[in-house]
Amino acid sequence: MWTLFEIRNGLRLAIVAVGLVAVALVSMVVDGRRVRGGGELSWWTGAALDVAAPVQRMMSTPVDAIHDLWVDYVDLVGVRRENDELRARLAGLSDENLQLREALVASGRLERIAEMREAFDVPMLPGELVGADASPWFRSVPIDRGRSQGVRSGMPVISEEGLVGLVRSTSRNASKAMLLVDRQAAVDGIIQRSRLRGIVRGLGGEELGFEFVARGADVEVGDVVITSGVGGVYPKGLRVGEIAAVADSDSPLLRTATLRPAVDFARLEQVFVMLRRGPTMELLHGSEEAAPASAPPAP
């Protein structure tokens, strides 16, 4: 139960609060008229304002700080979300740009391959390199096409740049091609400008050797060498490389030149297998493929 003293104090506080509210209302009305008409506030209203202003400033400062912090945080979250969206869009645009570039590169390759198909009238099977030969003694590459796709040993392998090599072995769904730079590789070539014939040999590195008859030789740096078609291994007209240097020789019979391959083997990704073997390869590998079928069964 409240005591009489507490009740009196409560009534006093209530009366004071009601009085202050009434005074404030009257001041607001009077000062509103004065403000509309111009002039200064009354002395007691001015004094109340002078006392209330610092208090309001003290009370509004933390509220404003919290408000600003919240607004900044919300804005920061929005900026972070926007940055994430922009990064995602940029990544998508980068992927699209890369795909478009690859499509343009592929379209250029396909156009050149289409021209080669028309020039040689040979069906061609596209294939991808699936690795590199681990042997340090041979230069060959595995291809993701094999016997089930019509690939046979002895078939030429090309790219849109020129001659790559020759299929040496096959499995059901893969094959291995000996590169033109292999030491065992040899191609009968002809200089496109002067029609001089010679033998292109692999040196095991990144260059080729070109051997030709010294007498009456007309060979210059920059000359393009193509396949001659002699020997029945490669069709005539495949680009082999370009003469990089002509060596001096004391031999009256043979001279040599360094040949830069037309194909950049370090960047080789896609190849085309020419699905037709020359007469020499047909005689060699055709008999090998027919031998198991004609062999008598084991006892």
Helices (H), the chain: 4-37, 43-120, 279-294
pLDDT tens sequence across 164-181:
999 999 999 999 999 999
Assigned token pair, 142: 């595995």
CA quadruple 188, 193, 196, 200: dihedral, nearest 10: -30
All structural domains of the chain, each given as residue ranges with its CATH number in brackets, are 125-287 (2.40.10.340)
Furthest CA-CA distance within the chain:
140
pLDDT tens sequence across 122-158:
888 999 998 776 566 789 999 999 999 999 999 999 9
pLDDT tens sequence across 65-75:
665 665 555 56
Q: With a threshold of 0.75, does the pTM exceed it?
A: no
- C-beta separation of 256 from 210 below 8 A: yes
- For residue 195, pLDDT beyond 50: yes
- CA separation for the pair 45, 49 (Å, rounded): 6
- pLDDT, residue 138, reads 82
- C-beta separation of 177 from 143 below 8 A: yes
Q: How far is Cα of residue 90 from the mean position of the Cα atoms in its chain?
A: 15
- CA separation for the pair 287, 279 (Å, rounded): 12
- C-beta separation of 156 from 235 below 8 A: yes
pLDDT tens sequence across 263-277:
999 889 899 999 999
**What number of other Cβ atoms are within 10 A of residue 284's Cβ?**
15
- pLDDT, residue 60, reads 54
DSSP 42: P
- CA separation for the pair 39, 47 (Å, rounded): 16
- pLDDT, residue 2, reads 55
